[in-house]
A and B are shown apart, each in its own frame.
Chain A
Amino acid sequence: MCAQPVTNTKEVRWQKVLYERQPFPDNYVDRRFLEELRKNIYARKYQYWAVVFESSVVVQQLCSVCVFVVIWWYMDEGLLAPHWLFGTGLASSLIGYVLFDLIDGGEGRKKSGRTRWADLKSALVFITFTYGFSPVLKTLTESVSTDTIYAMSVFMLLGHLIFFDYGANAAIVSSTLSLNMAIFASVCLASRLPRSLHAFIMVTFAIQIFALWPMLQKKLKARTPRSYVGVTLLFAFSALGGLLSISVVGAILFALLLISISCLCPFYLIRLQLFKENIHGPWDEAEIKEDLSRFLS
């Protein structure tokens, strides 16, 4: 090959293959070597206010945890009568239930095929089991130290916040685990309350705020974004107000946390997009674009 006439080399084009012998030195780099390089082809352009709107889910969940803890503190101190909390919770649950159907005009209910009788049955199961187990819950952690219970609850609520389904598509997300951790924390905290009625109402409230309220939120967010923003603001301010009545420092810290999550983090995310350097090319792993579902059935 090396002995080929020099006149032919002009017509020989460089090829990016290794299986052919080519009349170029080993360190030769052609102009076309990196012409298939692409940068940031999947990068998204974020709008600031859209990101702020999406971050409201996190704010909502933080506020839920905050409201739950504040209510538990009031109950523990004896400042909040359990009957009042039960009445309020029942009323808000009924309103939420009506709203849940009104928002999409019963469309979601038809799609899921869930009857009202099933809803009533679930509610009865909740109430019955919680009421039946409330004396057990009351004496469950008698001999366990209060600090242990607090630590366990804090870990469980943190886990609830970490594993919650905020709409991201990640492996860590597990709404089941998140809900279970919240219930575990609520049972732990409820066992510290003075009477079994308190424990019963606390666990019921936990179900309302951790299981039912996010479902309504999701529907609100999908159907009526404006009202969702309003509800979020209202909820955040009420949580802040509740925390303010307990501890000023805590309220200030919580407000800073909320502001940083809803305003600072989106801004930072958009700024960081400028530094994105994703390169793509023919060396990427193969991606199967074809729909394979017909083979699976």
Chain B
Amino acid sequence: MVLKAFFPTCCVSADSGLLVGRWVPEQSSAVVLAVVHFPFIPVQVKELLAQVQQVSRVGVTVLGTWCHHRQEPQESLGHFLEGLGAIFSHEPWLQLCRERDSKSWTCKATRRQTPTAAGEDQVLLIFYDQRKVLLSQLHPPAALPDRQAGDATPSARGLAVVFDTVARSETLFRSDRFDEGPVRLSHWQSEGVEASILVELLTRASGPVCLLLSWLLSLLSAVGSCWSRLRRHRGEQVCFWNRLKAVDPSSSHVPPKVGTGLSGSRSERSVPQLPRRPVEKPVRHVAEELQHLLQWLMGAPAGLKMNRALDQVLGRFFLYHIHLWISYVHLTSPFIERILWHVGFSACLGLTVAMSVLSDIIALLTFHIYCFYVYGARCAVLRAGGPPGGLYCLKICGLSSLWRLFRGKKWNVLRQRVDSCSYDLDQLFIGTLLFTILVFLLPTTALYYLVFTLLRLLVVAVQGLIHLLVDVINSLPLYSLGLRLCRPYRLAGSLPRRPADPPLSFQMQPLPYSRVVRVYRLPSCGCHPQHSWGSLCRKLFSGELIYPWRQRADKQD
């Protein structure tokens, strides 16, 4: 039978004494927590262990003896250690011995109740870093033995027991070497609590300090951005008034001081007129590009055979719409600019707010593309003679019903199927006439619909990307990632790597970043796309309007 003895690395150089720890019979493993040094009174040791056991609810017992030969091995010490086993009866009784050259260890585990040759077991010594094990958290956390012992693998369960034991017996590590107590212990904190207190204080204080720092930083950046905006604004005003003065010769004799004072007093009026360019220029540029696109469509795009008359009508309609849009932007750009200027202050609230505002601004400034898209979809619907109630119905709904008429069939609404039907002569004639016209006009409308749908999809994709980024930023576990980066042992993976050398040491394998993100991801706002790819394609084909991330509750319109 093989025993596993988990031995803390901090106790390697400790003086001889008793091994205090927990015995896990299911795993047949002994977790050594500390070493009690000589001299001690066995009653006091038992009292201490009882106290610890009461506080931590861990079965801390004396597991065996620890013997560190600094000098020549003494025969008497060996006998003494043998005798200790009678006082602290434990089954099996561990005997760890370290020789002077610190390379050779002897481990023995004896059972007193079975006085046969099989009473001596093999011992597998595994070293572990007590501090790291105490501070780290084993993943997955569900593998803790007191919660769900059944579904974890045996090795993981054993590790979980070690972690649990070390974490719960924290009271054992309260006293250090310099304490004036009846029992002297050796463990990870035995060198002194002060250093760890310092570390503790630092970690406790780091949270508020970081918060304060980040707040200060954001305040500074906000103030800086506002200051730069104000300065630019003011500079533009001065430029404007200088230009005005240059144009108007009568005002050239006005002293510059008065001019700036004038500009200050008139700033309320001059604000809306001046900073028009930053918004109007890209909008105008996009509109001009759209005009080029429409002119290309009005020709023979890609050698397609379009109906020229309908092409001209549609192209002129959309060109007129762009013209309207440009003049609208020209009229409203002062107000829009002012609104945007004030909305820009919301960037102080965080990156995600700024990105959301950006997304909304994009939606606002590409409203004409949305309009085109709606026109394209509805135009195709109307052109195909769809029923007036359902503007969102199939683009080719009319064509399909006329095709049924062409074949002498009709859609039976009551039975939800296609029935044959005898039409009148005039019905047939008009239906076929319309069908022929629609068939020949379909490519033109479909091309316009396609182009504007692609533009719309582009805008939707950009907005979706921004949404996705905001979502990622909102749900990214920054603290856990930072912990993983700076203190990898704090987040331990489920299985430690096993080294090949005989003195096994318990090496913490840090959790991979992907699992950190997966385990600690915050619940996001749930902005998931409404459509799957298939339904999106179907909707695009049938001419239904698509929205980026939300859907109206009532589609009846």
Contact = CB atoms under 8 A, between A and B. Distances in A.
Nearest to A185: B436
B423 interface: yes
Contacts of A174: 407-408
Interface in A180-214: 180, 183-184, 187-188, 203, 207, 211
B290 interface: no
B309 A139 contact: yes
A7 B113 CA distance: 102
Nearest to A211: B425
Given A133-B437, A177-B406, A139 B432 contact: no
Contacts of A137: 437
A175 B408 CA distance: 8
A139 to B, nearest CB: 5
Given A143-B307, A187-B436, A176 B428 contact: yes
A125 B426 contact: yes
Interface in B94-149: none
A177 B305 contact: no
B429 interface: yes
Interface string A44-68: 0000000000000000000000000
Interface in B429-478: 429-433, 435-437, 440-441
A285 to B, nearest CB: 26
A141 B440 contact: yes
A283 interface: no
A183 B426 contact: no
A149 to B, nearest CB: 10
A140 B430 contact: no
Contacts of B440: 140-141, 144
Interface size class on chain A is 20 to 34
Contacts of A136: 437
Contacts of A187: 432-433, 436
A147 interface: no
A277 to B, nearest CB: 35
A174 B422 CA distance: 10
A291 interface: no
Contacts of A133: 433, 437
A136 B433 CA distance: 11
User: For chain A, what secondary structure do more than half of its interface residues adopt (helix, strand, loop), or is it mixed?
Assistant: helix
Contacts of B309: 139
B403 to A, nearest CB: 10
B307 A207 contact: no
Contacts of A117: none
Interface string B395-414: 00000000001111000000
A294 to B, nearest CB: 24
A207 B432 CA distance: 12
Contact of A143 (B308, B422, B423): B308
B308 A180 contact: no
Interface size class on chain B is 20 to 34
Interface in B259-310: 300, 305-309
A195 B426 CA distance: 24
Nearest to A176: B408
Contacts of B435: 180, 184
A139 B307 contact: yes
Given A133-B437, A177-B408, A142 B308 contact: yes
A122 interface: yes
A262 interface: no
Nearest to A121: B426
Nearest to A178: B408
B429 A140 contact: no
A136 B437 CA distance: 8
Contacts of B422: 176
Contacts of A203: 433
A42 interface: no
A86 B410 CA distance: 34
A126 B408 CA distance: 19
B432 A125 contact: no
Nearest to B300: A143
Given A140-B436, A184-B432, A207-B429, A177 B307 contact: no
B430 A129 contact: yes
B383 to A, nearest CB: 12
B176 to A, nearest CB: 95
Contact of A126 (B305, B429, B431): B429
A222 to B, nearest CB: 19
A133 B436 CA distance: 11
A130 interface: yes
A137 B436 CA distance: 9
Nearest to A142: B308
Interface in B173-194: none
A139 B305 CA distance: 12
Contacts of B308: 139, 142-143
Interface string A29-40: 000000000000
A176 B407 CA distance: 7
B57 to A, nearest CB: 85
A125 B430 contact: yes
Interface in B314-330: none
A143 B67 CA distance: 102
**Top 9 closest pairs, chain A to chain B, by CB:** A176-B408, A143-B305, A183-B432, A187-B436, A180-B432, A125-B426, A122-B426, A180-B406, A140-B440
Interface of A: 122, 125-126, 129-130, 133, 136-137, 139-145, 174-177, 179-180, 183-184, 187-188, 203, 207, 211
Interface of B: 300, 305-309, 405-408, 422-426, 428-433, 435-437, 440-441
17 contacts: A125-B430, A133-B437, A140-B307, A140-B437, A140-B441, A141-B440, A143-B305, A176-B423, A176-B428, A179-B432, A180-B405, A180-B407, A180-B428, A180-B431, A180-B435, A183-B429, A211-B425
Given A143-B307, A176-B408, A183-B429, 7 more contacts: A130-B433, A145-B305, A175-B408, A177-B408, A179-B425, A180-B408, A187-B433
